[in-house]
Amino acid sequence: MSTSQWPLWEVFIRSKQGLNHKHVGSLRAPDATLALENARDVYTRRSEGISIWVVESAHIHATDIDEAASFFEPSDTKIYRHPTFYEVPDGVKHM
Amino acid sequence: MTQAEQERHFNDKIAREIKIEPNDWMPDEYRQTLVRQISQHAHSEIVGMLPEGNWITRAPNLRRKAVLLAKVQDEAGHGLYLYSAVETLGTDREQTIDDLHSGKAKYSSIFNYPALTWADIGAIGWLVDGAAIMNQVALCRTSYGPYARAMVKICKEESFHQRQGYESLIKLCNGTPQQKAMAQDAMNRFWWPALMMFGPSDADSTHSDQSIKWKIKRFTNDELRQSFVDATVPQAEILGLTIPDPNLKWNEERGHYDFSEINWDEFWQVVKGNGPCNKERLEARIKAKEDGLWVREAANAFAKKRALKKTA
Ligand SMILES: [Fe+2]
Ligand SMILES: [Fe+2]
């Protein structure tokens, strides 16, 4: 039986308390338990993590790269969402 | 977007140092070049475990054994990061590995030389990993995102590989005359193959130009080779080892060391499969896959059993 029949898993690692889990790469494994053990051996040989998530790649839904421009357009046009949009007199402090 | 627009958009990203990511549009040839280069790189990490793995049980003491074991384990990890990077380009992982076993894909020629003595393990860490680092540091800025990220992680791990080799040679060079001679012998055998690791000279390199334009490669083979020689000569002096090249000397005008022409006949012979260990290396990889079949089958069976228990 070939390894290509094993599903692909995406690996996310929390490097320390207070930080998000971050995508680090992928691997193949027959199930979640082995995916976690393999992820530990492949991606955390130097204490890079205190917590690992593995997610089957097939379960990840992503935005369409070709539609990215129109998909994200609504936020690009709203410059008044940024503090720099507003003028405040010179003497005003702590704002 | 039309094909021409996509191509313009792609070239614009390359020009502006914006990384290309897996789902982005890319020219077919860019994709093929990456698949070839990254898989070749992955295979080199994996095959590279063989000459060193051979010495784990014969390391002179427990410290050296633990270090060598950790290094070889790192190389397995490097292979896996890179296989995962190749897979983002839409290839099948098992096919990639089978291409190595069928001889279709290449790996670094250096691993077709045998590690005959314990000093060779030091020389491999110092020179072979040293040359690999020179190459890989440059690749941290490669234009394909997953490859660049794998390189950053690999480079962080590589630095101990070179240092442990150098440290082990320092011990030998400060030891008995026999130990020093063993270190010099390793240097004599590994120096030229290490220089060959940077590949054919720029004049004969088929893929180099386009790879530089696409920023897959950031420096040419000859540029990297020169940097390696410049960095390594003073390290050899500190060890008290002689570099086996009568023409090696500092060129004030160029600000670099001059060195002899590489024996390209030997280089191409090894690339074509006629090096001292080509056959043995491939056989070992094929055997590892075949012998590991029952482990993969058992893992599958166990996963199935566990899944059944969950639903029961
Ligand atoms: Fe490596
Ligand atoms: Fe290494």
Q: With bands split at pLDDT 50, 70 and 90, how would you rate the model's confidence at A90?
A: very high
Interface contact A15, partner B, CB < 8 A: no
pLDDT tens profile B106-159: 999 999 999 999 999 999 999 999 999 999 999 999 999 999 999 999 999 998
Amino acid B162 reads Q
pLDDT given at position B205:
79
Q: CA B290 → CA B43, B140, B287, B300, distances in Å?
A: 17, 34, 5, 16
Asked if the Cβ–Cβ distance from A25 to B84 is below 8 Å, we say: yes
pLDDT given at position A77:
85
Residue B104 pLDDT greater than 50, yes or no: yes
Residue B312 pLDDT greater than 80, yes or no: no
Residue B199 pLDDT greater than 60, yes or no: yes
Number of other residues whose CB lies within 10 A of the CB of residue A7: 16
B265: left (phi over 0), alpha (psi -120 to 50) or beta: alpha
Please name the member of A28, A33, A45 whose beta carbon is closest to the beta carbon of B77. Answer: A45
Interface contact B299, partner A, CB < 8 A: yes
For the CA atoms of B280, B283, B285, B291, the dihedral, rounded to the nearest 10 degrees, stands at -130
Closest CA to B205 of B83, B37, B91: B37
Distance CA B141, CA B212 (A): 12
Q: CATH for A8-81, among 3.10.20.520, 1.20.1250.20, 3.40.920.10, 3.40.50.720?
A: 3.10.20.520
ipTM > 0.90? no
In chain B, positions 43-72, which contact chain A (CB-CB < 8 Å)? 70
To test the contact with chain A by mutation, choose from B5, B83, B88, B300 the residue with the greatest count of A C-beta atoms within 10 A, namely B300
Residue A3 pLDDT greater than 60, yes or no: no
Domain ranges of chain A: 8-81
Q: Can you read off the two tokens belonging to residue B155? A: 């480079």
On the 0-12 / 13-18 / 19+ scale of CB atoms within 10 A, B53 is: middle
Mean pLDDT of A47-76: 92
Instruction: Write down the mean pLDDT value for chain A.
Output: 91
Q: Can you read off the two tokens belonging to residue B100? A: 């190595």
Closest CA to B140 of B286, B132, B175: B132
Quote the percentage of chain B above a pLDDT of 70.
100
DSSP string over B31-45: HHHHHHHHHHHHHHH
Mean pLDDT of A70-92: 91
Mean pLDDT of B192-215: 91
